[in-house]
A and B are shown apart, each in its own frame.
Chain A
């Protein structure tokens, strides 16, 4: 075989690999070929491949088909095979049958169409859909069988899915359990737990820290697994939850305030203020740690309050302490009341009276609240440390010092000093007194400083102070003359009941808690300061001090302290200035002129000589408020300068 010769360039010859099919290869390599089919055999083979499965006509139908005869023209034994031959043996049998049945069908169709055309015996109508039911039988069967198989399949699938979800849930449950256990472990690290029956109980009391408060303070640990699995698990989900005693729920704090005497005794103890803005609680349940801490805080507040009220009832004081409901009222100073109240709010209760009197939060003394907590902890520690292990081991428990009392022959005072301890209430009252006294002192000094411009008053408060004592340094100065007028420096030690004033020269004055005393004292000091300032100024200006007195016995009597006075003369001795300054009467400045300068002096017959002219003349008062100058010392300086002759 050769390819088309039209292409000029290259000639490619194509040959089939093997003309004859190899039937078998002999051992010696010789191939035996299958003999190729001749023409008729080939045709028969091809015809056999045709599939006429769609139609199977009646075999007995007579009538030869011309086409069949055409097909089978090459076969001589066509007619004989109709009856005698086995259909399978005769290759054209199926073809003939099919063609014949098709012919029959066509003939019938032709007849029917002819009849229909006449419209006499037969008409064609559109077929309604209801005509189907007789045909439905096979689809129903199909449907049923399909349904059956489908249910079977779904059954298997469901079973598998169930098993899967079960295993998933199981692993999740296991995980949850593990989480619970790990949470429990974490809880165990911070809180005391014990197992009672099938419950896990915890202890949130401060008993192990030395508290003697009888509240049991137990909480129960709950496994929090009743969760809706379908819902999304919240982020803060915790498999462990705690059940807190109902009386420890919510939050609490102690409010300590110092007020002026209560206006009405009727509303005592009804304070139920909870002004502190509650931290916005998250939608989910709070974590157990925060829950427990809050409960513990409530417990501690309750303990403090119980301790305070017990002491308030026991302690005998001149003015008895009042304990009403959740409030303890004490009177540290006359006209003043210290109130300590326990404010406890549970979460379910909303703010009862959100607009309670506004001032109540402002006077809350956070320092004292904090100190109360500190004191109770000290008290706990004392409880713990007081009972050290006995030595020798057979000795009974108890105070070490009490055991020493016998062998060391303590006397009565030593033993009573062992027993007597200051209670929480006494301590807090003392602290409150001190705080009040300190505040009032500051206020007094400030008001004086703002009211009186000349001389100036400065207060230097120490940053660090004791709970019962603080100190302030008070300086009285004149503006512009701070360097030369430093005479008055006071150290005020503010205690619990009184103020101890230490002068610069070491004098000590003790003032009571009364506000007026301090104010009067400071006023008198300020008045003295002016005279001291004149003295200092005189030194600088070269004037001489003739007399100086802090407490003048002459003149009008001052209601506060005493007036002080000074007399100075000019360097030449011509002029003298006399100053008297009283805390109430204010300052009075007189100037003495030399005799010669006084015109209106009556001529005396005795003093004719010129030398008598140098004698001093009478005093004249200076109209001090008309003097130039912004403060007393400046005016004095101007006056002195004016009276000093230029030489």
Chain B
């Protein structure tokens, strides 16, 4: 190793240190609410799960109830990035890419703290920002100081009914980090989610969602599940 090399290494390390120091000094995590653009979009969510055996009947039901679109399947790879500040909860971003349609843009998503609300609201509501990004998102996030927290593969079916999105999917664990070639199912059940993204304050939607959930009743019970309580 020559002197110049050593010098360059030293320089790089200092630069990284400086970067880290900078992030440590001024954490981007703030109390300010995150909003995408001018309209504050909220995600209304209901969740449930079905066992593998009853998947077919649920799908059959959904095909009957949902819009007449070609039934879609998907296989996505989701990575969750964290940016830890000195105080407060870490800032979480979810990057998702489609494995079966690699030409589609990546999807970066910020989800806020879920609000349970009172009994009159039938769905979980959380702040949400959706951005379509190019495929070098991961490098960008890592450069910004984000750290990969966990990743998984979601594989399942997607339906649409009006503005409602219904996804039925199974979560797979990656055996080798970063490689989606070898995956392993986490459980013997499928996760069912009904979600609507709409501007804030439209509680009519939650009513609509509850009606839809009622129609799926014997097959799957969709509820608003507080993630804090589950933990």
Contacts and interface: CB of A to CB of B under 8 A. Distances in A.
A384 interface: yes
Interface in B147-162: 154, 156, 158, 160
Contacts of A161: none
B227 interface: no
Contact of B130 (A208, A209, A396, A404): A396
A29 interface: no
B161 to A, nearest CB: 11
Contact of A392 (B107, B131, B163, B165): B107
A544 to B, nearest CB: 71
B174 to A, nearest CB: 16
Interface in B46-82: 67-70, 72, 74, 76, 78
A404 B133 CA distance: 8
B160 A391 contact: no
Interface residues of A, number: 20
A392 B160 contact: no
Interface in B5-33: none
A391 B74 CA distance: 7
A397 B198 CA distance: 11
Interface string B96-138: 1110110011110100000000000000000000111111000
Contact of B74 (A209, A389, A404): A389
A393 B154 contact: yes
A397 B100 CA distance: 18
B133 A407 contact: yes
Contacts of A400: 104
A392 B76 CA distance: 6
A403 interface: yes
A455 to B, nearest CB: 61
Given A393-B154, A394-B96, A208 B68 contact: yes
A394 B132 contact: no
A406 interface: yes
B67 A208 contact: yes
B197 interface: yes
Given A209-B68, A389-B72, A394 B133 contact: no
A389 B168 CA distance: 14
A613 interface: no
**Chain A contact residues: helix, strand, loop or mixed:** loop
B94 interface: yes
B69 A393 contact: no
A311 B69 CA distance: 27
Interface in A458-512: none
A190 to B, nearest CB: 15
A114 interface: no
B68 A393 contact: no
Interface in A179-231: 208-209
Interface residues of B, number: 34
A391 B101 contact: yes
Interface in A555-585: none
A403 B108 CA distance: 12
Given A384-B69, A387-B69, A404-B132, A395 B163 contact: no
A385 B7 CA distance: 58
A408 B74 CA distance: 23
A394 B160 contact: no
B190 interface: no
Given A208-B68, A209-B68, A394-B109, A387 B133 contact: no
A495 to B, nearest CB: 37
A395 B160 contact: no
B136 to A, nearest CB: 10
A387 B72 CA distance: 12
A389 B97 CA distance: 14
A393 B105 contact: no
Contact of B69 (A389, A394, A403): A389
A288 B109 CA distance: 51
Contacts of A209: 68
Nearest to A404: B105
A205 to B, nearest CB: 12
Given A403-B132, A404-B132, A407-B105, A391 B98 contact: yes
B163 A393 contact: no
Interface of A: 208-209, 384, 387-397, 400, 403-404, 406-408
List 6 tightest A-B contacts by C-beta distance, closest first.
A389-B72, A391-B98, A407-B134, A392-B76, A392-B96, A208-B68
Given A389-B74, A391-B104, 17 more contacts: A209-B68, A387-B160, A389-B160, A391-B74, A391-B76, A391-B100, A392-B76, A392-B96, A392-B106, A394-B94, A395-B104, A396-B197, A403-B104, A406-B132, A407-B105, A407-B106, A408-B105
6 contacts: A384-B69, A391-B76, A392-B104, A392-B107, A394-B94, A407-B135
